[in-house]
Amino acid sequence: MTLKIGDIIEFRGCTWDDGWEFGRPLVLYMGTKNYCDDTRTENAIEDVLINALCLDKPLKKEFDSTDLKEFKWRGWSPRGFARRKKAWHTRVIVKIIQGPHDGELEWEEILHKEQQGPFGVL
C-alpha cells in the first residue's frame, strides 16, 4: 500500500518474552506485516513509516517468506499474534499529513494505546 495525504492507518503489534538472552520478538500484525527483534513497537512502526514515506516502500500486506520460515522454525503461528495473551500489545493510529515546512509527507499520531494481552476482535 502506497501512502498519501489523508490516509489513516491503524497499526497493531505485540512483543513478548520468549526467553532470548538479548532482545525479544516483535511482530506488527495490522497495518503492515513485519517481524523484527526490536523491543519497542513504536520504533518498529516508525521504521515502517519512514521506509514508506521516504523510500517509497509500500506497507506489506502479508509476511514475507523469510518471516514465515522464521515463524515455522520457532513454532509461532502468524494468525496467533493478535490473540497472544502473554504479550504486550500496542495499538497506534496515524494520519498521513503534508509537512508544514518542506511539504514532505509526515504522520501525526491520533491514538496510542498499550496493554498486556490482546485488544479483542479485529
- DSSP codes joined into one string, 27-49: EEEESS-EEE--S-HHHHHHHHH
19-24 mean pLDDT = 81
**Residue in 111, 4, 99, 106 with CA at minimum distance from that of residue 46:** 106
Residue 2 located in a structural domain: no
- Distance, in Å, from the CA atom of 122 to the CA atom of 110, rounded to the nearest integer, reads 18
Residue 39 located in a structural domain: yes
Residue 1 located in a structural domain: no
Residue 3 located in a structural domain: no
**Residue in 4, 6, 7, 77 with CA at minimum distance from that of residue 35:** 77
pTM confidence score: 0.89
Does residue 24 carry a pLDDT above 90? no
Residue 22 located in a structural domain: yes
Total of domains in the chain: 1
Domain that holds residue 15: 8-116
Residue 90 bridge partners (DSSP): 13, 114
Residue 122 located in a structural domain: no
**pLDDT tens-digit map of 54-85:** 898 999 999 999 999 999 999 999 989 999 99
**pLDDT tens-digit map of 85-103:** 999 999 999 999 998 878 7
Residue 122 banded pLDDT, cuts 50, 70, 90: very low
Residue 121 located in a structural domain: no
